[in-house]
Chains A and B, each alone.
Chain A
Amino acid sequence: MTAALHRLDIAGLGARLRGGAVGVRALTEAMLDRAEALNPSLHAFVEVWRHPALERAAALDGAGPAPDQPLWGIPLAHKDLFARAARQPGCGVAGPVGGAALPPAVALARLEDAGSVDLGPLVLAEFALGITGSNAHFGDAANPWDLTRCSGASSSGSGVAVAAGLVAGSLGTDTGASVRVPASFCGVVGLKPTAGAIDGSGMFPSSWSMDCAGVLARTVADAALLFAAASARHRSPRGGALRIGLPTRFYTDHAEPDVAAAWQAAAAVLEQAGHSLVETNVVERTEIRALARIVMRTEAAAVHRDLMLQHPANYPTSVRKFVSGGEGVLAVDYVDALRLRGALLREALATTYRHVDALLTPTVPLTPPRYVEIAAATDVEVWQRVGLFAHYTQPASYLGLPAMSVPFTLSSGGLPIGMQLIGAPGAEEVLFHAAAPLERHWRGLGAWPGGTP
């Protein structure tokens, strides 16, 4: 009976737990066994917390299910960027991080209060400053669909662990791509909510202005449930026909043919579901990415310049490249990049989001490349190609808008392709509703990652 538990969504697991078909301890043990068996090849967990997880599971079994615990007994694990009461985040590096202690993360505490079981901290790009899934300290996070390929990052362990069925969901962070790109590459759902919707206290900073906690799960309903728990919000599900915007520029630039075809197919699926398609102009253009980079580079340089001197071994070349450009940003340019966030958001709300409920775009222009391709390329080639990973996701982070990646189809090479839905501030429920037909299409494929049956 437990053989397929790892494939169930939170609703399915919850029904079995509350119905007594399986105990919390038995479920936790099964998931821990799977995590320990697969982690040596996946590099998703920093460490698997067998004994603490089993103790927690036994306590939950003893107390029994509570009505106010929607995640009672559900196995989760989270990006190692959040502080716990007894443990500071490892931030994806093997040595001491340094710096002052963070307070316990409110979002983690809320997920625990909701009854979840934490199986252990998950791998990420060092300090959440990377996008491929590589990690010099814990090994490259392997994409469950093809273990040789990039998982996407920086919430790499979250994407891998959820896709491979090691956990049912995960709390991650997204500063420009870090929930949505691994979600797209690994074939799971990833929500970056409206800026500030999930309390970010206790989260090690990458860029204070743009950091945003988000969630990854295998279904849209699970992502909605995790978001509600992490943000302490009551849900008001949205229904009815929506106006889906198809951007007339920017969001298909650089798209591989399979990705562009998937986007068109996704639009057709939404139209067939009763939503109307609206071609729409957008404020986004290529240069908006420079605005985001000015903010991110400057703030990352401020976080890390002393830490890099104190703990140089924590910083591989890829991370240094990310941080060090910020050393040369002029103060007035940094302030203007911050000021333009409000100005551009006002413009987007007055134009695009007056006419549409959500934008439909691909999540990533590319399907996940092999790590060896990245390693073998020249610096310029790598940065040109890897830089494209965040091309479609970075603007929503800069503008503070909610955005979600939902798996839609497989490429001709059998790799997941995710679609991104972007909404107006506070429109997470619109995104969940819009995603439903896309998710049905994905589930209709019956696909599961071949690297982790």
Chain B
Amino acid sequence: MSAEADAIRALVAARLASRAQHGEDVAAAAEEAASLPGQLETFRPMLSPIDAPDGLRAVLGQG
């Protein structure tokens, strides 16, 4: 996971390089991006392979 986080930090730094002169806080953005995937793992076991990205609308429509 650490290697993945390091890769995400590097990716964010590279993508934000063109905005650096406008006061972009590259380190903060990279840290935020690196922290998110790990928390996703808490819920990922709930997913079925066939769950679709627009599943919320389908459930709301049944309400």
Contact = CB atoms under 8 A, between A and B. Distances in A.
Interface stretch (A243-251, A326-334, A440-448): A326-334
Given A287-B42, A290-B36, A346 B59 contact: yes
A338 interface: yes
Given A194-B60, A349-B59, A343 B36 contact: no
A277 interface: no
Contacts of A330: 8, 37
A272 to B, nearest CB: 30
A302 to B, nearest CB: 12
Contact of B40 (A291, A328, A343, A425): A291
A446 B39 CA distance: 44
Given A195-B60, A320-B24, A424-B63, A342 B32 contact: no
Contact of B42 (A194, A285, A349): A285
Nearest to A343: B46
B60 A345 contact: yes
User: Chain B interface mostly helix, strand, loop or mixed?
Assistant: helix
Interface residues of A, number: 46
Q: Of B22, B28, B63, which is in contact with the most chain A CB atoms at under 10 Å from its CB?
A: B63
A288 B33 contact: no
A385 interface: no
A58 interface: no
B1 interface: no
Interface stretch (A230-238, A307-315, A429-437): A307-315
B19 to A, nearest CB: 6
Interface in A374-430: 379, 399-400, 424-426
Interface string B1-16: 0000000110110011
Interface in A201-233: none
Contact of A335 (B8, B35, B53): B53
Contacts of B37: 330, 333
Interface residues of B, number: 41
A196 B8 CA distance: 33
B24 to A, nearest CB: 5
B56 to A, nearest CB: 4
A343 B55 contact: yes
A293 interface: yes
Interface string A67-84: 000000000000000000
Contacts of A379: 25, 28
A344 B45 CA distance: 11
B33 A328 contact: yes
Interface in B33-63: 33-37, 39-40, 42-44, 46-48, 51-60, 63
A324 interface: yes
Contacts of B24: 320, 324
A215 B16 CA distance: 36
A345 B59 contact: yes
B43 A340 contact: yes
Contacts of A294: 36, 40
Given A290-B36, A290-B39, A327-B33, A321 B58 contact: no
Contact of A308 (B19, B34, B39): B19
Contacts of B19: 308-309, 312, 320, 324
A191 B16 CA distance: 36
Interface of A: 194-196, 285, 287-288, 290-291, 293-294, 297, 308-309, 312, 315, 317, 320-321, 324-330, 333, 335-347, 349, 379, 399-400, 424-426
23 contacts: A291-B43, A294-B40, A297-B36, A320-B19, A321-B32, A324-B12, A324-B26, A325-B32, A327-B15, A328-B15, A333-B37, A338-B53, A340-B43, A340-B47, A341-B55, A342-B52, A343-B47, A343-B48, A343-B51, A344-B43, A346-B59, A347-B46, A400-B59
Shortest beta-carbon contacts, A-B, top 9: A342-B55, A328-B33, A425-B63, A290-B39, A325-B32, A324-B29, A328-B12, A341-B56, A338-B53
